[in-house]
Structure 1
Amino acid sequence: MYFQRNDLTNDQLVHLYQQLLWPRLIEEKMLVLLRQGRISKWFSGIGQEAISVGATLALQPDEWIMPLHRNLGVFTSRNMPLSKLFKQWQGAQDGYSKGRERSFHFGSPEHHICGMISHLGPQLAIADGVALAYKLREENKVSLTFTGDGGTSEGDFHEALNTAAVWDLPVIFIIENNGYGLSTPVNEQYRCSQLAERAKGYGMESIVIDGNNILQVYDTIKGVREYCIREQKPYLIECMTFRMRGHEEASGTKYVPKELFEEWAAKDPIANYEHWLMEQGVLAEETIRQVRESMRQQIEEELRIGFDSKPMVVKTEDELTDMYAPYAARYTLQEGREAYSVQREASRELRLIDAIKEGLHQSMKQHSNLILMGQDIAEYGGAFKITEGFVEEFGKKRVRNTPLCESAIVGAALGLSLEGFKSMMEMQFADFVTVGFNQIVNNLAKIHYRWGQNADVVVRMPTGGGVGAGPFHSQSNEAWFTHVPGLKVVYPSTPADAKGLLIAAINDPNPVLFFEHKALYRSISGPVPEAYYEVEIGKARHVRSGDDISIITYGSGVHWAEDYAASHPEISIDILDLRSLLPLDYDAIKAAVQRTGKVLLLHEDTLVGGLGGEISAWIAEHCFTYLDAPIMRCASLDTAVPFNLELEQNFLAKSRLEETIQKLLQY
């Protein structure tokens, strides 16, 4: 192994050595503790330390890094105390994630480290978002993210690199090519001779380096960092290395040929660097021995502190509360009064689509750090023209057309959050959220619970049927997300609510999925205050009072119920508009049950797995004594949404509303 010191002083060379050795000795100790049963699991990075350490030291301490589970050297090079790291690995309450996460699945804003999720690929897009924040602020910084050779087969790899290239983002992408994705060798993963060759397809520069040579890693990444800042472009680095242990210790290494271990043992990053330092007269053998012994003693002392954790105190209230970053509405029109019923406020008639546009426009003025992203939202104004004219007023830095890559853009939105930005992503249709599903349910939703990081992201979701758009542009998929703690899900039915809820969603530091019914965009109008105001998320709206039956609904169901009540004055119908689906307003639901004793749950979504089933179960459990009849549900057919308008009308729940109401009344 050839080492080139360039202009590094002896002190710098020694510092690199100490940083390189520290995670190796920690790992050796962890393997002993694993065998003793004192820790439960370990993902070893032995043999790969030079990449983590060299990359981290080549960056500034306040530049974000997105490591994976084999990058202990990132955490130690950012000077995270071993005692607290050890508490983390044990699942102790005083670790970095309060016992809620394992090994390296955690982050630390203080150390500018973003914790991974097990799906690996989503980390890459978060680096895009952080780099975008740096670029918007015109800061001379880069973000850096890791992936393995196996991870380059994921769609997230393609999406993140393509987005970084198209947006000219200062991101360093590092591939740790250790020859195996768990047990699958690289010849079963890809066909190019080097993964770095893929960079050409994205229009970015790349290089292949010896990932076991600490000086080459450090020097290369320092140079690449300067390039990314100067040129405002991304860069791909493939680091060739080898994993000397199993994917994790339980998996073993029987699938690896013995000669590969012998070959790579001779390329050990620490042994070779030590030998070179002694050859250069930088360190003597006795000094190395003393350094190792001192570190081992320090490890024992840190472990003594690490083992001294108090027993876990389980508090259900804390678990529930910590799913969300705290937020209280600040911009209310008048305490205790609904926005749309305030007569003294200046208001005028707006369509639903215009109210959404106004709420978004006012939010852009209110928050200079709010970034809008989506396909065709800039000059074109979006598929439904909601952002038309925005790019002329706010500029393309803040109103950003995106490549066709929903997962990367959701991930980039999370990356913007790490740097204190707000973001709104427009899904062209709610149906397309499936390709960004993982980022939403596993990254956005869980990040605050895992390590206290907020995800200040709103995903706008044009949804619903009734417009003859067929199976892939008409789905009602809100129930998919009401099952995911950490998300907030809202679904307005009136223009006033649409504006107020959108402003509230943007102000809220938690991830909010904002459903907008396409058929209501231009068909529904109502009074909307001119003021900048919030409608509190989690509070239902009592639409009308009645004595015979209560219809609990949301979205288009509100208008179906109102139309039915207007055409049947002989029936006294009580209507509750949920408008927030997560969290639900259980007090309002209970009150609706108490008012009539007969409950109809109405939604456009299909029956099985729809939100009505959950609400029905809650009512049966908590309001049974108030019921005078079985709870009934009226929902759309359990089929895909058909294209033909006659078939679609038969599909929709509205076609069965009359018979369901009559059945409930007759009970």
Structure 2
Amino acid sequence: MLTSSKSVIAYDKKNLDDATLVSLYKNMLKPRMIEEKMLILLRQGKISKWFSGIGQEAISVGVTMALNKEDYILPMHRNLGVFTTREIPLYRLFSQWQGKMNGFTKGRDRSFHFGTQEFNIVGMISHLGPQMGVADGIALASLLKNTNQVTAVFTGEGGSSEGDFHEALNVASVWSLPVIFCIENNGYGLSTPTNEQYNCKDLADRGKGYGMEAFVLDGNNIVEVYTKMLKLAESVRRQPRPILIEFKTFRMRGHEEASGTKYVPQDLMDEWGAKDPLENFRAFLREKNILTESQDVEFKASILKEINDHLQQAYNEAAIIPDATIELNDVYQDFEYQQIEAVDDTEEIRLIDAISQGLKQAMEKHDDLIIMGQDIAEYGGVFKITEGFVEQFGKARVRNTPICESAIIGAAMGLSIAGMKAVVEMQFADFVSSGFNPIVNYLAKSHYRWAQNADVVIRMPCGGGVGAGPFHSQTNEAWFTKTPGLKVVYPAFPYDAKGLLATAIEDPNPVLFFEHKALYRSIRQQVPTAYYNLPLGKAAQLKTGNAVSIITYGAGVHWALETLEKNPDIDADLLDLRTLQPLDTVAIFESVKKTGRAIILQEDSLFGGIASDISAMLMEQCFEYLDAPVKRVASMETPIPFMSQLEDQYLAKGKFEAALKTLLAY
């Protein structure tokens, strides 16, 4: 705190009028007073956790006041001033922190882990980096829609070390996106000081490496923050481009309250305590006779009353009563599938052609659909699925990306937040590991957390049999079938691929769409030439029999068909699952109850695959109907090798026939 009534921060009011200066002060005062109250409630056990932004209010308030209300802001833990300056009713914030229904996450997430379309705020997740890519996507939507909006996204000096930060800055620069990246450099990442986090003088210097303007501002000087942000935002509206700002400030309390600040030298605490943004600005306003003592007392009394009234409203709100049906129904956004029938006009095409045709017709149907991926524009993608798309739809909608899977998946999420659709092509499904975090932690959880859907399809060229080795041949669908909030589609035929891709794009939820590379050019089928769709969650019964149920998908379908053609005496039900999430358990159970035997074939290695879950479900639901143990057939428990002899040994294809006959003989 200040030791005198004179400000130690040099303010230059420039052309700001007194009303604006007082408004800046009141907007800083409000979050400070709320925080002081929250710290009391935390000690009383009335809230579970608190990440204090005391000493950093000037950044949140200055940035928010400089932007228009329709501009999106992506804040973090210590940006309470963003929420209060956007005038979110306090009782809703208090309900959020108490886990009440009037909060923004229905008790499902805490503190500032929420967003609200009503106030154009997109909350953080604990994995800090992905929101930078999300900001890119929101800014891209602004650019494409010509809305003249600016997006501001916050991170800390710690988060600026994450790969997502660098990916997002690079994408924003390459695409000239109207996004302002705000680094709150507050001295410590939990207990780690800045000299152990980075080895440059200013984090703003990183902007130079990405070809963008960068600035260092005194984050405790509200006038400097506000006036510079105002100027930069207006400039970005005139000339869309990204800007990086490093705000120098300090965290006066623990990373979260339980952490404490014992690791901070006292002289450093004293130095920054003297630079308190609220106390210094108050002293400045008093010195310039812009704020009187009576006005200040009145402001505090008004805010205190508002806090107490809204706290009481939150206290009076009933506790959430758990309801399993509500919880399960909120994992996905409702999607009312409307059948578009296939017409009689067909042509024989390959699987790869069906996917290309389906994607092209979806682009024609959905004007707001954007495709992103490496080499997908003029080159047409490594498999040539998007060949010719640039000529028809233009580079604004068919976008080459840098090699940055995480940022691009984040950008797809940002497009969805801004009301658009996105298809992201993984060059190979294996590369999705570089974008795993935003898929399983952002796309999958957003609707459950704060009712924000992720209208994103991620295309996944996958599978072995092409001699591509451990990094271009995986079938990694089990990584995603485990994650609630994702849908997983895996067609085996051209007809299914085209119809299911149409539905995946129509569906407002995130979909992983697997395309087996070995089937791309080897499988042909009569496919309707016009647009049509097929429902997710419906298996296809390819053969009917009474002796055994064969349950499979992808390349496994064709391995099973070859085996049955070779052994015409085997009387089998053959189910092609087509989608793995949602899974057609009704068809599976009906088939097994009829035949009494089940064999599940997958290309993935055995342990932890989808076959294991189907087997467990059959044991739980169909045990009394079984005449033999459920059999799983899968590939070897090794990475997939390159040489054809080793790959043939690895793949489940060579094991299936013997396993099927053994089951029938049981």
Matched, 1:203 2:198: no
1:146 aligns with 2:154: yes
* Structure 2 counterpart of 1:576: 575
C-alpha displacement of 1:529 = 1.2
Quick check: 1:331–1:532 contact (8 Å CA) kept in 2? no
The equivalent of 2:224 in structure 1 is 216
Deviation at 1:231, TM superposition (A): 2.1
Aligned ranges 1:1-80 → 2 under 5 Å:
1-80=9-88
Map residues 78-477 of structure 1 onto 2, 5 A cutoff. Answer: 78-333=86-341, 345-477=344-476
**Structure 2: distance between partners of 1:286 and 1:243:** 30
Q: Deviations over 1:452-473 (max 9, x none)?
A: 0010000000000000000000
- Alignment match, 1:544: 543
8 Å contact from structure 1 (residues 329, 534) kept in 2:
no
CA distance, structure 2, for counterparts of residue 415 and residue 363 of structure 1: 20
Give the match's secondary structure for 1:287.
helix
Deviates more, 1:467-476 or 1:621-630: 621-630
Alignment-derived partner of residue 492 in structure 1 = 491
Cα distance in structure 2, aligned partners of 1:329 and 1:287 = 59
Give the aligned residue type for 2:554.
Answer: G
CA distance in 1, matches of 2:39, 2:547: 69
- Cα deviation digits, residues 164-197 of structure 1 (max 9, x gap): 0000001000000001000000000000100000
8 Å contact kept, 1:616–1:631? yes
Provide the residue aligned with 1:626 in structure 2. 625
Q: SS of the counterpart of 1:83?
A: helix
Deviation (angstroms), 1:291: 1.2
Match of 1:336 in 2: none
Counterpart in the other structure of 2:558: 559
Give the deviation of 1:409 after TM superposition: 0.0
CA distance in 1, matches of 2:92, 2:337: 36
| 2:223 maps to amino acid | L
CA offset digits 1:204-240 (Å, max 9, x no partner): 0000000001111111111111222222110000000
Structure 1, residues 72-109: CA drift from partner, whole Å, max 9, x if none?
00110110111110010011122111111100000000
| CA positional deviation for 1:260 | 0.8
Aligned AA for 1:240?
K
Structure 1 length-normalised TM:
0.98
Q: Contact conserved, 1:134 with 1:141, CA < 8 A, in 2?
A: yes
Q: CA deviation at 1:363?
A: 0.3
3-state SS of paired residue (1:124): helix
SS at match of 1:588: helix
- SS in structure 2 of the partner of residue 144 of structure 1: strand
Q: Distance in 1 between matches of 2:339 and 2:232?
A: 46
Report the CA distance between 1:3 and its aligned residue.
Answer: 1.3
Number of residue pairs matched by the alignment: 658
Give how far 1:326 is off: 0.6
Take 2:458 and 2:181, find their aligned partners in 1: how far apart are those partners?
Answer: 26
| In structure 2, distance between residues paired with 1:156 and 1:666 | 54
Shift of 1:313: 1.5
Q: Output the CA distance in 1 between the equivalents of 2:302 and 2:389.
A: 61
Residue aligning to 2:598: 599
Report SS of the residue matched to 2:440. Answer: helix
- Could you tell me how far apart the structure 1 residues matched to 2:538 and 2:665 are? 31
CA distance in 1, matches of 2:320, 2:484: 23
Which deviates more, 577-586 or 306-315?
306-315
Alpha-carbon separation, structure 2, partners of 1:124 and 1:545: 51
Question: For structure 1, which segment, 383-392 or 91-100, has the greater mean C-alpha deviation from structure 2 after superposition?
Answer: 91-100
Partner residue of 2:518?
Answer: 519
Alpha-carbon distance between aligned partners in 2 of 1:233 and 1:296, rounded to the nearest angstrom: 41
What letter is aligned with 2:38? M
Q: Is the partner of 2:349 in helix, strand or coil?
A: strand
Structure 2 segments unaligned to the other structure (5+ residues): 1-8
* Structure 1 unaligned blocks of 5 or more: 334-338
192-201 or 225-234, which moves further after superposition? 225-234
Q: Aligned-residue CA RMSD in angstroms?
A: 0.8
What SS is found at the alignment partner of 2:638? coil
Letter in 1 for 2:97: W
CA deviation profile, 1:626-662 (whole Å, cap 9, x unmatched): 1111000110001000000011011000110111011
Which 4+ runs in 1 deviate beyond 3 A? Answer: none
Residues 230-254 of structure 1 show CA distances to partners (whole Å, capped at 9, x for unaligned) of: 2211000000000110000000000
Separation of aligned partners in 2, 1:583 and 1:488 = 6
1:430–1:473: 8 Å Cα contact kept in structure 2? Answer: yes
* SS of 1:407 mapped into structure 2: helix
**Conserved 8 A contact 1:545-1:573:** yes
